[in-house]
Structure 1
Amino acid sequence: MTAPLHGMRVIESSAFVAAPLAGMTLAQMGAEVIRVDRLQGGLDAARWPVTDSGASLFWAGMNKGKRSVAIDLSAPEGVELMAALITAPGPGAGLFLTNLRGKGPLDYPALSARRADLIMVSVIGTRRGEPAVDYTINPGLGFPLATGPAGMTEPVGHVLPAWDCITGQMLVGTILAAERHRLRTGEGQLAELALKDVAAAMLGHLGIIGEVTVNGVDRPRHGNALYGAYGQDFLCADGQRIMVVGLTDRQWRGLVKVTGIGPALEAEGLELRGEGDRWHARDRITAHLAPWFAARTGAEVARLFDAAGLTWGPYRSFAGAVAEDPDLSEENPMFARVEQPGIGPYLMPGSPVAWSGFARRPPAPAPRLGQDSEAVLAEVLGLGSGQIGALIDRGIVAQA
C-alpha cells in the first residue's frame, strides 16, 4: 500500500512524548521509521499507563508502525552500528530524529562528516540546553495560575502535555522542510527545537504576551468560561454537565433561539453583538441560561442542540468517552482493533489524515524491542547472517 512518505527512512533515538510522537506520525504517513534502543529498552519502555503484567500502553501507543533495533550503546562497536544506520546511503535516508543528544561519534559534527547531507532534528529542553519537560515549563509560563475556578489561589496543572504534543507535530514539519531543502540543494543540516521555545512562541501567538505588555493585564482565572466570548458549562436535570459555545455570531444566535432567552436579554437592554460584549455580560447571560438547562436532561439538550447545529459537547471521563463516543470506536475508520505483542488486542488509532490520493492505512502495532534487529542490519547495512549472528552472540545486538 503506497503512502505519502513512502521511500523515506528515519532513524529515531528517543524517549517520552515529542520525538516518539513525531516518529510515529511519520510512520503513519508511510515513512520507514527505525527506532534504536538500548538492549534494556528506552527510558520510556515501562512508562505508565501499564497493564497488570507491566507492559507499557504508553510505549505501545507512541511507537505504532515503527521498526525496532536493540543495540548495546555502551560498547564502541554498538555506537559504530548506530552511526552507520544513521548515515547509511540512500536518497530517502540520512534522517535522524532524537531528543537524546549523542556525544562523540553520535553528535552532529561526527555524523555529518560521514554523510554530508545528513539531516538531524533534535529536541532540547531550553534554548540554552538545560533539561526541561512539559510539566516544568508550563508552570513557569503562567497557565496553571490562569486555570481553575475564579478566586482559587493554588495552581492547577494540566494532565495533557500540550507542549510535547505541539512539539511533536512541529518536528514532523521540520523534518519535511529540511528534506525539501535537501532535495533542492543537496544540503543537510542540524535543526534544533527547544520545548520551552515552542511553549513561549505559543504564548505570543495566542496574544497573551501582548495582553500583558500592551494592555497591562495579567489574566486571572475565569473558571470554565470561554475567555473573550461566550462559552460556559451547565448542569442538566439528570446531572449531565455540558459545555456550550457561542463564539461566532451564528453560534450565538442559534443558542439564543433554541433556549428562548432573547426577550429576557432584550428586556435588560444588553448590547451583545460582539464577542467582547457577550464576554462582559457573561454572568447575566448565564443567569438566564442556567434554569433552562436545569429543567432538561442531557439527552433533551443534545437532541435540540444537534437539530439546530449548535456548538456544544458533554463532559465525560476517559472511560465515559471510550464507552459512549462513536468517534472512539471502529465506527470511525481511523480506529481498528490491533493485536499488540505482549498486551493483546485493543483499539488503536491510525493517522487522523484522510488523503484523497491514498487509501487509509490501518494502524499497525508497536514492535517488540529488537524485533527487527536482524532484518534492519541486513537490509540497511548489508551485513551477512554470520556477521549478525556474531554480533548477537557477543551481546552487541539483541533480536526479539
Structure 2
Amino acid sequence: MGPLTGLRVLDFSTLIPGPLATLLLAEAGAEVLKIERPGRGDELRSYEPKFGPDSVNFGLLNRGKRSIAIDLKAADAIERLTPLLRSADVLVEQYRPGVMDRLGLGYAALSAINPCLIYCSVTGYGHDGPKAQTAGHDLNFVADAGLLSLAADGDGTPVLPSTLVGDIGGGAYPAVMNILLALIERTRTGRGRHLDIAMTDNLFAFQYWAMGGGLAAGRWPKPGRELLTGGSPRYQIYRTADGRFVAAAPLEDKFWATFCNIVGVPEDLQDDSRDPDAAQRAVAALLAGRDAEHWRAAFAGQDVCCSIVGTVEEAMADEHFVARGVFARRLAADGRTIPALPTPIAMGLRSACPEAGYPALGEANGLLAPGRQQGL
C-alpha cells in the first residue's frame, strides 16, 4: 500500500503535464480515474508508435489508471459524474481558464458539493493576467520565461530544448507538490482548495542564477556566454575523434586541475580566467585527438566530473541504473511488457504494483451513475 492508497483522483487532463502528475499520484497508491471523451479519448492514444492498441506514449503516462468515457457536454453528464465528484479527493484539469466553468465543472460549482475537493488547474499562463487565454506549447513557455534565451549556437540562435521542461518541470512536478501540500493542509482545515498551476510562472526557478546576476549587479546573461551556457571551458560539450562527445563539467579548481593533467592542457592555459576562449579551443583540440573510449578509460575513477554523452538506449542499459532498479517496473499490453516510465517517487513510497497496464477507453464506465449509453 502506497501513502496515497484510498485517495480518489479524477483526471480531466490530456497529453503530458496533467497525466504525468496523476501518474505520480497513482505510483504512490492513489486511484486515478481518467475522464476522456467518447470515441477518441486522450489525443495521445493516437500517437505512434503503438504498444498494444494505443500509443506507447499514452501507455507510459497512464499506467495503472482507469478510464471513463463521457461526453462532458451531454445534458446528463454532471448528473452521471456527481457520485464520483462527491467522492473525489483530488481533481486535475488542463483546459483553458473558463472551460470547466462553462461545462458546469468549475471549482465554485464542485466545491459546493464537495468542500474537501482539491482542485488542481494546470495551464500555460495561469487563470488570470493578460496571457491567461493565450494558446501555447512548451517552446512558447520557455521563450516567454526568458529561459530559451540563455543557451545559443554559434550564430546566436537559441538552442531548441531537448526536453519538455515547461510541461514537466513547470507543470507536472509543481502540480504534485501543491496537491500534496493541499492534502496536508486539508487534514488541519477540513477543506480543499483551488490550485492555479501556471507552467510559465514555474520556469523562473530554473534560471535563478541569471536573475540573481541581473538584479543584484546589473549583469544580465549573454546568450551562450555564461558559466553554465557555454562561456567557460570548464562546462562544455567537446567532440571526440570518433564523432562522439564528452560532457565536461570540472567547474571547481580541484576538478579542473585533475582534468587538465589528464587531457594535457598546456600550463599557460590552465589558468582559464586569463583567456577562457583560448583554453576552450585548446581543450577542444586535445579531446578531438582521441576517441570516446580512450577518454572514458582516462576519466574512469578520477574526480573530473566528465562523462561520455550516451544515447537513450545506452543510458537504459547502463549498469548503474540497472543495479538501482530504475527500470524494474513494467508496462504491460497485449501479452508484452516494457520498462515503465521511471518516476521520482522514492522506492519505499510506491505502491506494490511492479507490472501494470494502461486503461482501455471507457473500461471503468460502470462507476458512472446510470444514464443513457455513451458511445465508445
Match of 2:61 in 1: 62
- Structure 2 matches for 1:336-355, cutoff 5 A? 336=328, 338=330, 340-341=332-333, 344-355=336-347
Worse overlay, 111-120 or 48-57:
48-57
Aligned amino acid, residue 374 of structure 2: I
Query: Normalised by the size of structure 2, how large is the TM-score?
Result: 0.84
Match of 2:373 in 1: 395
Match of 2:145 among 141, 159, 163: 141
Report deviation, 1:226.
4.4
Q: 1:9 to 1:35 in 2, by over 3 A?
A: same
Match of 1:294 among 288, 299, 305: 288
- Segments of 5+ residues of structure 1 without an aligned counterpart are 378-382
Q: Deviations over 1:118-155 (max 9, x none)?
A: 21111122133223321222223344444332333x44
Aligned amino acid, residue 208 of structure 2: L
Aligned amino acid, residue 96 of structure 1: L
CA distance in 2, matches of 1:343, 1:368: 15
Q: 1:139 to 1:363 in 2, by over 3 A?
A: farther
Match of 2:213 in 1: 211
Q: Deviations over 1:168-215 (max 9, x none)?
A: 01100110101100101112111111122112x326x52323434542
- Confirm whether residue 373 of structure 1 aligns to residue 357 of structure 2: no
Aligned amino acid, residue 126 of structure 1: Y
Match of 2:326 in 1: 334
What is the SS of the residue equivalent to 2:255? helix
Worse overlay, 216-225 or 109-118:
216-225
- Structure 2 matches for 1:223-262, cutoff 5 A? 226-227=230-231, 230-261=234-265
- Segments of 5+ residues of structure 2 without an aligned counterpart are none
Match of 1:313 among 296, 307, 313: 307
Alignment: residue pair count: 364
Report deviation, 1:293.
2.1
Report deviation, 1:51.
3.0
What is the SS of the residue equivalent to 2:357? coil
Aligned amino acid, residue 292 of structure 2: G
CA distance in 1, matches of 2:350, 2:41: 33
CA distance in 2, matches of 1:192, 1:368: 30
What is the SS of the residue equivalent to 1:230? coil
Q: Deviations over 1:328-362 (max 9, x none)?
A: 7x555121474543694323234344445778752
* RMSD over equivalenced CA pairs, Å: 3.1
Equivalent residues of 1:9, 1:33 under 8 A apart? yes
Aligned amino acid, residue 37 of structure 2: R
Match of 1:77 in 2: 76
Aligned amino acid, residue 190 of structure 1: H
Equivalent residues of 1:335, 1:347 under 8 A apart? yes
What is the SS of the residue equivalent to 1:192? strand
Aligned amino acid, residue 283 of structure 1: D
Q: Deviations over 1:54-109 (max 9, x none)?
A: 83222112111211111232212223222431221xxxx42111112412531111
Report deviation, 1:14.
0.2
Query: Normalised by the size of structure 1, how large is the TM-score?
Result: 0.79
CA distance in 2, matches of 1:189, 1:179: 9
CA distance in 2, matches of 1:336, 1:342: 19
Match of 1:189 in 2: 193
What is the SS of the residue equivalent to 2:32? strand
CA distance in 2, matches of 1:25, 1:358: 9
Report deviation, 1:291.
4.0
CA distance in 1, matches of 2:230, 2:277: 12
CA distance in 2, matches of 1:342, 1:191: 38
CA distance in 2, matches of 1:177, 1:52: 35
What is the SS of the residue equivalent to 2:218? coil
Aligned amino acid, residue 80 of structure 1: E
Equivalent residues of 1:150, 1:220 under 8 A apart? no
CA distance in 2, matches of 1:198, 1:373: 35
Worse overlay, 47-56 or 294-303:
47-56
Q: 1:251 to 1:338 in 2, by over 3 A?
A: same
Match of 2:101 among 100, 103, 121: 103
Q: 1:360 to 1:240 in 2, by over 3 A?
A: farther
